[in-house]
Amino acid sequence: MGCPAKKVIGGYAGSALMREPDHALSLIEATVKAVKIPVTVKMRLGWDEMSINAPEIASRAEAAGVQLITVHGRTRMQFYEGRANWDAIAAVRDAIRIPLIANGDVETVADAEEILRRSGADAVMVGRGCQGRPWHAGVLAGQDGPAASEIPNLVVEHYRAMLEHYGVEVGVRHARKHLGWYLERYAPGLAPDAKAAIMTSKNAEDVAKALEHSLAAALGPGARQEAA
């Protein structure tokens, strides 16, 4: 119940469900009854600033048997604009006794500590902060991230793993958004034509070679700093 994308809410799914709490609860209740594993719910604060109903829906979801709630600190109408309202998540904490996870704009250890303090949540979910650096959740938990010099090989390894998992034809397409995130984060100065070649080529080996070369050139030989 958190996705704000038009193609999702157009089907009365995602965060559109927050406009219809009774319908949302009927889906939650049906899911809880249909499975033997714990059911969790992710939501936003509400549809817009005039309808902040996350505390109400979370309380009803808990009564229906949901075991954990995650709240992204924006309304649907905010999409990803502005800053997530970490303080507003605290109202959900007050409304439920089950575990609460806080989400939105967590990029650093300091962010994680602050969102926990202000929301009263039990844990943190990191989404966009891990785009282009999937190891970042581990860094926030105190683990060492890769050295910059290791990143080109890691990215190519990730790319090849996706091809193996999905098959080359489908994997090349699925991998593109990940490659875009890597390039935006670590090679923002890459020439547009070079980036376009990586993002549109259907030749997996050509993509892997160009990707490794572009990242290695951007990060510099022998770079030793941790990837942020």
CATH code for the domain of 42: 3.20.20.70
151 with 183: CB under 8 angstroms?
A: no
Domain boundary pick from 125, 157, 189: 125
Of 31, 27, 5, 29, nearest in space to 16 by CA: 5
Domain check: are 157 and 117 in the same one?
no
Query: What is residue 225's predicted lDDT score, i.e. its pLDDT?
Result: 43
Containing structural domain, residue 33? 6-125
**Is the residue at 134 inside a domain?**
no
pLDDT value at residue 223:
44
Element housing 40 (H / E): strand 40-44
State the pLDDT at residue 220.
83
In the chain, the N- to C-terminal Cα span, in Å, equals 30
Pair 13, 62 in one domain = yes
Q: Which two tokens stand for residue 221?
A: 């030989």
Domain-embedded: residue 75: yes
Residues 49 and 107 in one domain: yes
Q: Give the pLDDT confidence score for residue 224 in this predicted structure.
A: 39
- In the set 1, 2, 3, 76, the catalytic residue is 3
pTM: 0.85
In a domain, 138, yes or no: no
Digit-by-digit pLDDT tens for the chain (228 residues) are 999 999 998 888 999 999 999 999 999 999 999 999 999 999 999 999 999 999 999 999 999 999 999 999 999 999 999 999 999 999 999 999 999 999 999 999 999 999 999 999 999 999 999 999 999 999 999 999 999 999 999 999 999 999 999 999 999 999 999 999 999 999 999 999 999 999 999 999 999 999 999 999 999 865 434 445
What sign does the dihedral 28-101-128-205 (CA atoms) show?
negative
Number of domains in the chain: 2
How many angstroms separate the Cα of 154 from the Cα of each of 44, 103, 157, 182?
33, 27, 5, 11
Q: In the listed set 93, 110, 125, which residue is the last one of a domain according to the structure?
A: 125
- 88 and 178 in a single domain? The answer is no
Q: Is 130 a catalytic residue?
A: no
Find where tokens 């984060």 sit: 185
What is the model's pLDDT at position 221?
Answer: 63
Q: What was the pLDDT predicted at 12?
A: 83
Angstrom distance (rounded) from CA 70 to CA 86: 12
Do 156 and 62 share a structural domain?
no
